[in-house]
Amino acid sequence: MASGKIFFSYSRDDSEFVLKLAKDLRAEGANIWLDQLDIPAGKRWDAEIEQALEIAEVQLVILSPTSVGSNNVMDEVSYALEKGKLVIPILHKDCQIPFRLKRLQYLNFTNNYDKGFKELSKALNFEKIAEKENDSKIIVNGQPEKPSHKQASIETEQKQKIERDLDLARKIQQGLLPQCIPDMNGLDICGEMIPAMQVGGDYYDLIQISDSKLFVVVGDVSGKGLSASLYMTKLQTMIKLSCSDNKSPKEILIDINKRIYTELDKSWFVTITLALFDLEKQRLTFCRAGHMPVLQATNGTVQSYRTQGLGVGIEKGIVFEKSLVEEEVKLSPGQIYAFFTDGVTEAMNEKNELFGDENLNAILKNKSKVRSSDIVNEIWSSVKSFRGEAEVNDDMTMVVVKVK
C-alpha cells in the first residue's frame, strides 16, 4: 500500500462514515491522517490541515451532496491534483460528481461497504505489504534461511510469554464483564461479548442503580487486541463511577469524554451507546456516541434508532457536546431492545458478504414470547452458520433487553 499519509477530504455530514472507514483502514495498517483525530488541542485547524495535505501522498475524497458543494473540499481536491498526488474519489451518497473528478475512476460505497473497501484496499496495494515482508527475509540457495536452534528457542520462549500475557489479559477482561444479570422485575436481560482475539476492544456493562433503574452500556474501541482492551478497561471504570440516579446518558457521556480525551492516543476513539431503563416511569432514555443503532422489535416490526453523536475521544468540548442527541422511548410489554457492536452485522462469510442488518432484524422479529438468552443464542448460532469457515474478523457484543 502507499506508505505515506492518507488524507481525507469530506463534509462534516459524512463524519460517521469517514470515522468507520478510517478505523478499518488503520486496522489494515494504513497511515491515516484525519482532522477529527489528529489535530492536537489548541492548534489551528487551517494550519494543521494545510500541513497534512502538503505531506500526504494519497487523498481520499468522500463524495456526497454536501461535500461536492463544499468549497473547502473542492479546494483540497484542486491542490492535490495540481501537486500530482494520488486522488481516489469515494462515492458515499449518490450525487453529481464534480467535473474535475470525472476523469478519475471512483469507488462506489453506496450499496455495499465491504465491496467498496475491498476495492479501496486493492487501490492502496495492501497486498504489497506481505510481498515486502517476504522480500526482507534472508534467502539462501533460493530458500529462506532457517533460524538457528538458539534463535528458534528464544523465539519460542518469547511467543509463549506473549501468549501467557494475553491469556492473563483475557481473564482480567472477562472478569470485568458482568458476572451476573441484574434481577429486575419487568426486564429480561442477556448480554455476551465474544472477542476476535484473546482480548478485544468491545465492552458491555449492566449497572443497576436502584430497584427500578438500570444503565446498559455497549462500547467499541477503534482497534483490537491488548491495547484496545486496556483502553476499554479504563473506560469501564469511568462509566461505573459516573452512572448515578441524577445523571442522564448524555450528561454521563459528556463527562466521560472530557476525562478520557487527554488519556487516549490521538489515533484512537471509542463508540458508545448508553441507555437508561426507568421502570417506574416506564421510559427508556439513550444516547449514541458514534455507535451502532439501537433496535426496538415489537409486533413483528423492527425500528432502528440512529441518533447523532461523535465518538468519545474525537473532540474534547463543545463540538462533541453539540453532536449528541438524547432519545426517549416509552416502554411497553413485549418490546425487545438490542444493543450491539458492528462485529455482529459486519461478520463476513467466505464470499466476503456481510451478515447485515436484515439477518439481525429477522431474528428479532416475533420474539415477544422468547427469552432474551434464547434470542442471543440464536443470533450467535446464525452468525456462526453464516460465516462458515471464514475467520472471525471483529469482536462481537450483543445485549438484549426484553420488557415483560
What domains, with CATH codes, occur in the chain? 6-133 (3.40.50.10140), 167-403 (3.60.40.10)
Distance CA 270, CA 100 (A): 36
**CA 343 to chain CA centroid, nearest Å:** 8
**Contact, 295 vs 282, CB < 8 A?**
no
**Contact, 201 vs 221, CB < 8 A?**
yes
pLDDT, mean of residues 116-134: 65
Asked whether the predicted pLDDT for residue 323 surpasses 90, the reply is yes
**Contact, 47 vs 76, CB < 8 A?**
no
| One-letter amino acid of 104 | L
Least confident stretch, 128-142, 168-182, 198-212, 218-232: 128-142
Pick the residue with more confidence: 201 or 191? 191
**Contact, 159 vs 345, CB < 8 A?**
no
pLDDT, mean of residues 205-216: 95
Smallest Cα–Cα separation from 324: which of 247, 249, 262?
249
Alpha-carbon dihedral angle through residues 233, 234, 240, 242, given to the nearest 10 degrees: -160
pLDDT of residue 199: 62
pLDDT in tens, 220-238: 887 666 666 677 778 888 9
**Residue 212: pLDDT band with limits 50, 70, 90:** very high
**CA 230 to chain CA centroid, nearest Å:** 16
139: helix, coil or strand? strand
Distance CA 10, CA 68 (A): 9
What is the pairing mode between strands 270-278 and 301-305?
unpaired
Distance CA 205, CA 181 (A): 10
Distance CA 293, CA 275 (A): 12
Distance CA 119, CA 121 (A): 5
**Contact, 394 vs 197, CB < 8 A?**
no
Distance CA 204, CA 192 (A): 8
**Contact, 185 vs 402, CB < 8 A?**
no
pLDDT of residue 127: 44
pLDDT, mean of residues 104-130: 79
Asked whether the predicted pLDDT for residue 144 surpasses 70, the reply is no
5: helix, coil or strand? coil
Residue 173: CB partners within 8 Å, gap ≥ 6?
195, 199, 200, 229, 232, 233
**Contact, 60 vs 123, CB < 8 A?**
no
Distances (CA, A) of 206 to 276, 290, 370, 402: 10, 20, 21, 14
The neighbour count for residue 26, using CB atoms within 10 Å, is 18
- CA angle 128-133-138, nearest 5°? 140
Asked whether the predicted pLDDT for residue 151 surpasses 80, the reply is no
Mean pLDDT of the chain: 84
pLDDT of residue 2: 43
Distance CA 148, CA 175 (A): 40
In percent, the amount of the chain with pLDDT more than 70 equals: 83
Pick the residue with more confidence: 166 or 140? 166
Least confident stretch, 118-132, 246-260, 333-347, 363-377: 118-132
pLDDT of residue 136: 39
- Write the DSSP string, 327-362: EEEE--TT-EEEEE-HHHHT-B-TT--B-HHHHHHH
Most confident of 197-201, 277-281, 305-309: 277-281
Asked whether the predicted pLDDT for residue 314 surpasses 50, the reply is yes
Smallest Cα–Cα separation from 295: which of 250, 352, 247, 344?
344
The residue to which cell 429477522 is assigned? 362
Distance CA 74, CA 61 (A): 9
Distance CA 324, CA 307 (A): 8
pLDDT in tens, 179-200: 788 989 999 999 999 887 666 6
Distance CA 256, CA 237 (A): 10
pLDDT of residue 150: 59
